[in-house]
Amino acid sequence: MKIEKIEITRPDCMTSAQFVNAIVHMDVDLSDLLPYLNATQKEARYYPKHPFINFSWGFHKVVIEANQIRIIPFEDEKAAQEGAKEVVNLLLEIESNKNEIVPDISPYDPPKVLDIYKLLPKLGGCSECGFPTCMAFATALINKEVALEACKEIIDNKKISVVKLKEVLGV
Ligand code: SF4
């Protein structure tokens, strides 16, 4: 497995953006490696039908599809070049340890809004989280538009299980 090319891009709609993305073109199709990444990487979301996967890598997001790896964001081109090589090293390490990893072929199953809503304080829409209702907050949590901590009641109310909420959200 080798790097063919590393492209550094800025988001299309933001040519003056302060950050850049890296697209790594590999010389092989990485699809066979995705179940191993699904088994080992934090917050991995595997979509076997396409197939592709995304996961968190530090503060970055990594998306892998066929022979392409996208990593976002980096502060500049140098950081993007270095980060791209580190992610490829991670893949090489997983490739060489495949015999010790049980691959996970299960597709990403997104949490349901109602399952999250049931675990929220449901104070009748106090709106302190910045959303008009707990249901709207639950939707925003699933879309990763807000952190759990935005609802202070979740943290302060001992009857609310942060652990359970995190488990259902998969974070
Ligand atoms: S702050 Fe908490 S209790 Fe209030 S609306 Fe938002 S999620 Fe519901």
Q: Is the residue at 108 inside a domain?
A: no
Do 121 and 142 belong together in one domain? yes
What's the total number of domains in the chain? 2
Query: Counting every residue, how long is the chain?
Result: 171
Residue where one domain finishes, among candidates 71, 100, 129: 100
Do 96 and 117 belong together in one domain? no
Q: Is the residue at 121 inside a domain?
A: yes
Q: Are 40 and 29 in contact (CB under 8 A)?
A: no
Do 95 and 13 belong together in one domain? yes
Determine the distance separating the centroid of ligand 1 and the alpha carbon of 32, expressed in angstroms. Answer: 43
Do 95 and 119 belong together in one domain? no
Ligand 1 environment, Cβ below 6 A: 120-121, 123, 125-129, 131, 133-134, 137, 151, 153
Q: Is the residue at 105 inside a domain?
A: no
Query: Closest Cα to residue 3, out of 27, 33, 38?
Result: 27
- Summarize pLDDT for 130-140 with one digit per residue, the tens: 999 999 999 99
Closest ligand 1 atom, residue 131 Cα: 6
Which of 133, 153, 159 has most ligand 1 atoms within 8 Å of CB, for mutation? 153
Full domain range(s) for residue 70: 3-100
Query: Closest Cα to residue 37, out of 85, 102, 83?
Result: 102
**How many Cβ atoms sit within 10 Å of the Cβ of residue 66?**
14
Q: How does 109-125 read in b/e, with b if 16+ C-beta sit within 10 Å?
A: eebebeebbebbbeeee
Residue 151 to residue 153: CA distance in whole angstroms: 5
Confidence category of residue 16, pLDDT binned at 50, 70, 90: low
Q: How does 3-24 read in b/e, with b if 16+ C-beta sit within 10 Å?
A: eeebebeeeeeeeeeeebbbbb
Kindly report the CATH number assigned to the domain that includes residue 157. 1.10.15.40
- Summarize pLDDT for 83-130 with one digit per residue, the tens: 999 999 999 999 999 999 999 999 998 889 999 999 999 877 788 999
Determine the distance separating the centroid of ligand 1 and the alpha carbon of 111, expressed in angstroms. Answer: 19
Kindly report the CATH number assigned to the domain that includes residue 32. 3.30.310
Do 91 and 134 belong together in one domain? no
Give residue for tokens 């988001």.
Answer: 11
Do 85 and 127 belong together in one domain? no
Closest ligand 1 atom, residue 132 Cα: 5
Query: 95: which 2 tokens?
Result: 């490739």
Do 26 and 65 belong together in one domain? yes
Closest ligand 1 atom, residue 150 Cα: 1
Closest ligand 1 atom, residue 125 Cα: 5
Do 8 and 86 belong together in one domain? yes
CA 138 to chain CA centroid, Å, is 18
Q: What is the pTM of this model?
A: 0.71
